[in-house]
Structures are given as C-alpha cells and as structure tokens.
Amino acid sequence: MLSGRTAIAGIGATEFSKESGRSELRLAAEAVLAALDDAGLSPGDVDGLVTFTQDSNQEIAVARETGIGDLRFFSRVEYGGGAACATVAHAAMAVATGMADTVVCYRAFNERSGRRFGQPNARLTGEPTSQGLEMSWHVPFGLMTPAAWVAMFAQRYMHAYNATSEDFGRVAVTMRRHAATNPAAWFHRRPITLEEHQASRWIVEPLHLLDCCQESDGAVALVVTSTERARDLRRSPAVITAAAQGSGAGQMMMASYYRDDMTGLPEMSVVARQLWKTSGLSPGDIQTAILYDHFTPFVLTQLEELGFCGRGEAPGFLRDGGIALTGRLPVNPHGGQLGEAYIHGMNGIAEAVRQVRGTAANQVMGVTNVLVTAGTGVPTSGLILSTG
C-alpha cells in the first residue's frame, strides 16, 4: 500500500558538535525549520510530527517553537536507534492513509553535553517492569553499557567465523575515510589507519575505542509527504519504495542472550525480507547502503542478514574493500555515526536522500536505490529510498 506513494521532500540538520550550547528544543526547532526550507514549505503546511520515545521534546513544544499550527497526527517510536527508519514509516502511513498531508520526523540530541547514552547505569535493574527484570539478569555482573552488550555478541561472532579485531577495524577505517571528505562530518579531514584503530584503548574487549561511535550534539529533521506533492516542491523527492519494522524471536533489548544462535540479528532479517518483498528489489539492485554503525561488529552482521553476503562471509567482504566508495557496496558515504555524527541514525536517512538527489559530498555514481537501516541489537526498522 505504501510503496511509491510517499516521499521525503526535505531534510534539515543543525551543525554536529561536541558542545552545542543550545537546548534540545532549540536544536529540534532549527532542524525542523531547515527541513521545511529545504522542501520549500512553511510551518503552516505541517499537520503531523513523529519522533523517538527518548526525545525530550514533546511534539506540542516543537510545534509552538516552530510556528506549526494544528496537528492531525503525532507518533513516537520505541527502541532507541531502532526507531530511526520507523519514524519515516509512521509518517508515510499517516500520509498514505489520509491522516495527515505533511509530516515532519525529528530527533534532537544533547548527548555529548547532556545525557551520555554510553555511561553505566546500575538503576537499569530492579525496576518493577519487564525491562527491569530483563536487566537484572546481567547488569549485576557488569554488563551495564551498550558497548559491553555488543562486545559479548562480537566475541561469539569471532569464535564462530574466525573474525578478528582487524575485521572490525576495517569498518572504522572506512567510515573515517568517508567522513574525512565530508565537510559536515565531525571527523572531516581526520582519517585513521588500521594501526591506529588497533592501538586505540580497549573499551570492552574485543571493542577498541575506535569501534564505538562518537557522542554528538545536534538534530536532524525529515519532511514526508505524498509523492505527487513532493514532485511539485523545491527539491527532487526521495521516494519511499519500502519501509519495515522488525522484531526477532527471543528479542530483548540489545542483549538477546537467550537465542540459540548469537551470531546473527534475526530482527534485521525480518526487516530485510519485508523490504525486498515490498519493493520487488534484491540486494543487487542497491547502489549504496546506509547501515547503522553504532558499533563496528554489527555492520558485518547486517551485511549478512540483508543478503549482501553469506553468513560468516562479511570479514572477507571487508578485506576485499567491499564497503569502500569504490567497492561492491559503498556503505555510509557520509562517514556514518562513527565518522559524521551520532544522531540515532537520522543523519543516515538524510544522507540517503542526498544520494538519491545526487547532491552528496561523496556521491556514489548511478544511484537509483538506497537501503537504510536503523539501530541494531534492538527491534529495528529499515527503508529503501529511490529516485522519482
């Protein structure tokens, strides 16, 4: 029902920084207004807002701050970075079903200067909730951070497929190489070598510092409307060819330790199957992919779950330069969350729009379809954006 009927007509972002000096509400408002300007729209044209449950900015506050009037639709999506592509899916459904005409998705972060997502938090356990019960099984033993949870997964992946820390490092090196030529990236002009990756300090073995995404301040917003309307606006539209959400069997928050196989991400496989089914496309039809790269090991597993290579083949894919700009599947030409900024994946969707438009800093030639993924290890989501 949704395929091809809706499009992203505008993108906007604040400058990505380590100390913004502005409130999350101000950051959100700036990004929303920038996205509307990009589309050639005004706040009065917006009748829907979608964000993450973790965003501190209530929709009515953003509406007041930006001058948006009546809202006919608003929604919030759960599961951290897993919500990124789902915000666009919710917006697209609202437009396609007539609940709204134009919806803006936004995410604002004071992560570096405000709440530090990666800090240990013993209060995660003991609460009388399903999440509190889940966390009580591993938080008391030191598994308190996303890095620790992913490290456990990475150790198993290495054992099963003879992967090495250098294989993870190749992801980091490639992302920083792409960021080095992206003027909007925090790590612009600051590439790294594999030797520097290996020499960076341990966070939780086998994760080095440079296996972990940065913490950023900033915001990103996206304008979703009908494809028909988008074609009359200022910019070329990025058509939403497919959108999906997925949760796997035995799913838990980041640390799905009770599955029989800990080397995969079944929730991403659920998303992949739906994306390929809805779009009628296959991995061979994708010219570039924007993969959620909060930690390097999950990039390898996503390549496998999405069908770009077989199970256990991602290390070889990386060694052959498969994700470089000149590789078989350029991944994160903007530098990803490891190199550009960590805005819970929303900056990746903005990059996908630029690739479809042909306006990216590191433009991949001949782009007609871009695949985008959201946060991994959690219930997640994905998109395929295409030229109009």
Span 21-80, pLDDT tens digits? 889 999 999 999 999 999 999 999 999 999 999 999 999 999 999 999 999 999 999 999
Give the pLDDT of residue 255: 67
Residue 115 has pLDDT above 70, yes or no: no
The β-bridge partners of 212 are 295
Give the pLDDT of residue 252: 77
Question: pLDDT grade, residue 125 (50/70/90)?
Answer: low
Residue 113 has pLDDT above 60, yes or no: no
Give the pLDDT of residue 249: 87
Residue 388 has pLDDT above 90, yes or no: no
Tokens of 52: 């993450």
- pLDDT of 221-262, one tens digit each? 999 999 999 999 999 999 999 999 999 988 876 767 778 888
In this structure, how many other beta carbons lie within 10 angstroms of the beta carbon of residue 232? 10
Span between the terminal Cα atoms of the chain, in Å = 17
Tell me the pairing of strands 48-52 and 102-110: parallel
The chain-wide mean pLDDT, for the chain, equals 93
What mean pLDDT is predicted for residues 152-168?
A: 96
- pLDDT of 321-365, one tens digit each? 999 999 999 999 999 999 999 999 999 999 999 999 999 999 999
CA distance 7 to 2: 10
In this structure, how many other beta carbons lie within 10 angstroms of the beta carbon of residue 363? 15
Helix (H, G, I), strand (E, B) or coil at 278: helix
Of 12-26, 152-166, 271-285, least confident by mean pLDDT is 12-26
Q: Is 257 a catalytic residue?
A: no
Asked if residues 36 and 42 have their Cβ atoms less than 8 Å apart, the reply is yes
Give the pLDDT of residue 79: 92
The domain limits of the chain are 6-112+216-386
Q: Pick the catalytic residue: 79, 106, 157, 292?
A: 292
Give the pLDDT of residue 279: 97
* DSSP per-residue string spanning 320-338: TTTTSTTSSS-B-TT-HHH
Helix (H, G, I), strand (E, B) or coil at 46: coil
Residue bearing tokens 């992302």 = 175
Q: Is 342 a catalytic residue?
A: yes
What mean pLDDT is predicted for residues 93-103?
A: 97
- Rounded to 10 degrees, the C-alpha dihedral 68/73/78/80 comes to -30
Give the pLDDT of residue 145: 86
- pLDDT of 216-225, one tens digit each? 999 999 999 9
Residue 1 has pLDDT above 70, yes or no: no
CA distance 296 to 169: 7
Residue (of 293, 272, 289) closest to 352 by Cα position: 289
CA distance 101 to 89: 14
What mean pLDDT is predicted for residues 264-285?
A: 97
CA distance 4 to 385: 9
Residue 137 has pLDDT above 80, yes or no: no
Domain 6-112+216-386: assigned CATH number: 3.40.47.10
How large a percentage of the chain has pLDDT more than 90?
82
Give the pLDDT of residue 343: 96
Residue 383 has pLDDT above 70, yes or no: yes
Question: pLDDT grade, residue 114 (50/70/90)?
Answer: low
Chain Cα centroid distance, residue 351: 10
Give the pLDDT of residue 260: 84
CA distance 333 to 363: 7
Give the pLDDT of residue 116: 58
Residue 305 has pLDDT above 70, yes or no: yes
Q: Which burial class, exposed, middle or buried, applies to 99 when counting CB atoms under 10 A from its CB (0-12, 13-18, 19+)?
A: middle
